[in-house]
Structure 1
Amino acid sequence: MPTDALLDRFFTALAPLAPVALWAHGSLAGGDYQEGRSDLDLIAVLEGPVTLGTVRRVVTLHRALRIDPLADKLHCSYMTPDGLGDAGRKHLTWAHDHVLRRPVTPVTRRELHAFGRVLYGRPPAGLLPPVTDRELHDFVVRDQREFWRPAVDKARLWKQDVWVDLGLVTFARASVTLREGRLISKREALDLLPGFGAPAEVVEDIDRRRYGNPAPPTEPWTTRRAELTRNYLGPAIDALVAAYG
């Protein structure tokens, strides 16, 4: 399987950085992985500290993987034991073909505890402090209110597949987490969206692109899809935040 071959190459290249653990989360861990379409979401725990030399080695590592057609979907955050307990701490991350620093969110941390896939070393339960229900609730509300709701007002974003897909799927997942306290897959989120009042033709479009063989989108459709999505998501997020915020 090409994904397994890429993961093997990645771990071989990672070994000189002395990883304590390597974990997968997201679709790869949750059973909804679609090769060539889903991201490969990884967490590497290094002995530390993360120095400028570490950053250079991480960049070199990922650039060397570029010959693999799946490498652009491999994203990895690099944590160290002293930072595992702080959900707000930003960690060295490779994503979208460059380095950045971003937190490992309470949702990711809960995923790791609930169904994280151990690729090497110690399991999350042995290293990563658990996420309380209140921490998870507060993060999900804040993410919907402070990130996704302002994004809805930026019309230019919503002609892009990734914003439509993530906006609607994240909203459905947030709704279930806040109502029921559990995490769900993207597949389950898509199945639930029509019942949440999302526009059926947009949900079908996402489903075709994730699981089927879609035709290239036309300009009239991307324009209409953006309008349908924004008209739905704005009020839906407002109602969710009002109910649970």
Structure 2
Amino acid sequence: MRTWFDNKSSTKKDLLQLLKAYKEIVDINAICSVTDPEGKIIYVNDKFCEISKYSREELLGQDHRIVNSNYHPSSMFKDLWDTIKSGKVWRSDVKSRAKDGTFFWLDSTIVPIHDDNGVITEYFSLRTPINDRKRIEEEQKEHVKNLEKMLFMVSHEVRSPVSQILGIVQILQESGNLDPESSELISNLKTSAADLDAFTKKLSSFMHKLRPESESSSNESK
């Protein structure tokens, strides 16, 4: 199927109409802004105003720090600027703050716009709301934390007595004073206690794998 882009006979008017259609689609479905090379906002669409609670007049001439939530480390924004200044596309989830103090999450993509000489003239930002996804992620993290609390209780309430049982069994077996029937019972008790101890260790390992990768890495580095 051929498109207007494949049709060499398309006029400039045709292409402008196509670009206008694309812009209308983007404006309806996404949050857009454009900044100059210094990061000053020179264009925002209605959805940006709607989610930020700022008027267009309040946003134009400002930079995106006007919606900074202070949630992310400064290193993230340094990486952002290093990336787009080098002419590359930057993408990440960003937590922002609206004028009324409420927070919102956006899947943000920033694309450098170049002139014919390859000089960056603008930065185009395209964002989509992801509050629902972030809420689900936070609920999952909370669920994992609650499971970890349960695991701690299991480890404390079960593994400690199990260790004591295994110690007593070891003493009894080394005494050599057990009749065959008692020896078999003690052996079965040792096996059961060892299996329970192994299960709690497997449960601990399983919970560690459930933990988000970033959280696990953070805890391992401490």
Bin for the TM-score computed over the shorter chain: under 0.3
Q: What's the TM-score once normalised by structure 1's chain length?
A: 0.21
TM-score, with length taken from structure 2: 0.23
Larger Rg: 2
